[in-house]
């Protein structure tokens, strides 16, 4: 087939899938598919709850579909419509379970669904983060089972790891170099050319699916380990009475010092991907030391923040069981509504263990989603005063808060986990 003959279906319309559907929809016939019918209805009304979509681009791609049967973007939750497409790009979530093990359920369910609709010559490209080998060892058998087709004879696969950075309006999809790969030399070239047609920053064609999968895993594992180092420094320097950020500012004057900041490490990438890599390593009989030690440090930072606040409250003679604390922010990063794998919940739960009355305020987060995911009822506005305030997420809107008006007394404590607020207005920072 010529490149113009490809009809692309994007499976999953979250932070990764929707921007991809919009860009491909400007040049190809594209179906944005999601099993969540309310999501489809929202997008048809040009409403994006993730705030990631270029709404002008979205409207343009949808308008193209209305004027040209072979171009533009349509949305659907109807699996029968997938039969009209020949390239399928899977962008479903790949989380971890309560035991920190990879949860491939969404990925395998998507593969099962596609196995029932793919035809000879079709290509299935995965973007979901996985461990090296997952596409061919876990997904391909499901595709073969439900399609009755043979891999690399009747249908083909590609892997191109997502590099979406939620909330970033500068480094958007087309501005970030894309790693691509295919299950044969010819398919690798097709996959690369497809992405190359929309990615302004260019592509990097990896020699195999496994190499592309591994590249994604180590990108975020590397950042996780680096952040865990400065988090461990924060734990050490706290015992010394030294401000970690002052140390980093001083060390950062050396030209080759990597200036990472301490903090909570959550989200769908850095806090999850290292566990996928560790899982694969352990299945091969190797127990990773550095990767898992970094994860342990970072996973305990929420508990450290909560306990540090309690110590500060005690130092100011507060009765802990009668204290009231405000946590500012619940999303996993600043100016973004994404709450997946947010480590702020660790702070909240630890404070509640001390019988502290905790309010959580976040104007960016969806109140219903937070309630469903974490069992927390967000407050709509800040009406009370508090013995302690924790700045957990550095939303720009929080800079406009009058911190003194949040205090219940002069002995109230304000703890900044992001070194975001005016230093003269806070009691401590991470």
The catalytic site residues sit at 269
- pLDDT, average across residues 115-125: 97
pLDDT of residue 271: 86
pLDDT of residue 311: 97
Per CATH, the number for 3-216 is 3.40.50.720
- Give the C-alpha separation, 17 to 268, whole Å: 14
Whether 1 shows a pLDDT value over 80: the answer reads no
Which tens digit of pLDDT belongs to each residue from 170-224? 889 999 999 999 999 999 999 999 999 999 999 999 999 999 999 999 999 999 9
Of residues 296, 249, 237, 254, the one with CA closest to residue 271: 296
Q: Looking at the chain, which residues constitute the CATH 3.40.50.720 domain(s)?
A: 3-216, 243-429
Which tens digit of pLDDT belongs to each residue from 66-113? 998 889 999 999 999 999 999 999 999 999 998 899 999 999 999 999
Note the helical H segments in 126-208: 134, 140-147, 185-196
Of residues 300, 289, 292, the one with CA closest to residue 276: 292
- Give the C-alpha separation, 317 to 315, whole Å: 6
Q: Evaluate whether the domain defined by 243-429 bears CATH number 3.40.430.10.
A: no
Q: Please answer whether residues 86 and 7 qualify as being in contact, where contact means their C-beta atoms are separated by less than 8 angstroms.
A: yes
- pLDDT, average across residues 279-292: 96
- Give the C-alpha separation, 382 to 405, whole Å: 10
Query: pLDDT grade, residue 165 (50/70/90)?
Result: confident
- Give the C-alpha separation, 124 to 408, whole Å: 58
Contacts of 103 (CB under 8 A, 6+ apart): 94, 95, 96, 97
Which tens digit of pLDDT belongs to each residue from 6-64? 999 999 999 999 999 999 999 999 999 999 999 999 999 999 988 888 899 999 999 99
Count Cβ atoms below 10 Å from residue 256 Cβ, excluding itself: 4
């Amino acid at each position: 087939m010529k490149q113009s003959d490809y009809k692309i279906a994007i499976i999953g319309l979250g932070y990764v899938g929707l921007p991809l559907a919009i860009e491909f929809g400007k040049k190809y016939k594209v179906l944005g598919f999601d099993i969540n019918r309310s999501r489809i209805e929202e997008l048809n009304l040009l409403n994006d709850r993730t705030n990631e979509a270029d709404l002008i681009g979205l409207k343009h791609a949808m308008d193209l579909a209305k004027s040209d049967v072979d171009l533009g973007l349509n949305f659907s939750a109807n699996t029968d419509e997938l039969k009209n497409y020949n390239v399928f790009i899977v962008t479903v979530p790949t989380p971890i379970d309560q035991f920190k093990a990879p949860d491939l359920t969404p990925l395998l369910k998507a593969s099962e669904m596609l196995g029932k609709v793919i035809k000879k010559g079709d290509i299935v490209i995965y973007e979901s983060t996985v461990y090296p080998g997952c596409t061919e060892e876990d997904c391909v058998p499901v595709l073969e089972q439900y399609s009755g087709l043979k891999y690399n004879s009747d249908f083909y696969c590609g892997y191109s790891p997502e590099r979406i950075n939620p909330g970033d309006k500068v480094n958007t999809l087309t501005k970030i170099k894309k790693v691509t790969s295919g299950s044969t030399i010819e398919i690798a070239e097709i996959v690369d050319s497809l992405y190359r047609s929309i990615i302004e920053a260019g592509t990097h064609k990896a020699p195999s699916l496994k190499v592309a999968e591994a590249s994604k895993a180590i990108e975020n594992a590397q950042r996780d380990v680096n952040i865990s180092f400065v988090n461990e420094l924060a734990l050490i320097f706290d015992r010394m009475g030294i401000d970690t950020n002052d140390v980093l500012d001083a060390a950062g004057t050396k030209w080759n010092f990597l200036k990472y900041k301490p903090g909570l490490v959550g989200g769908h990438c850095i806090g999850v991907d290292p566990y996928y890599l560790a899982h694969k390593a352990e299945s091969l009989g190797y127990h990773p030391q550095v990767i898992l030690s970094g994860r342990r440090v970072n996973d305990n930072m929420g508990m450290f923040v909560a306990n540090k606040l309690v110590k500060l409250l005690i130092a100011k003679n507060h009765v802990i069981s009668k204290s009231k604390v405000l946590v500012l922010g619940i999303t996993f990063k600043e100016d973004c509504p994404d709450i997946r794998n947010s480590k702020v919940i660790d702070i909240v739960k630890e404070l509640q263990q001390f019988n502290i009355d905790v309010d959580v305020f976040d104007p960016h987060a969806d109140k219903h989603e937070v309630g469903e995911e974490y069992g927390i009822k967000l407050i709509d506005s800040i009406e009370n005063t508090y013995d302690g305030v924790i700045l957990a997420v550095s939303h720009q809107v929080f800079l406009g808060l009058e911190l003194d008006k949040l205090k219940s007394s002069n002995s109230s404590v304000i703890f900044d986990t992001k070194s975001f607020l005016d230093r003269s207005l806070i009691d401590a920072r991470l």
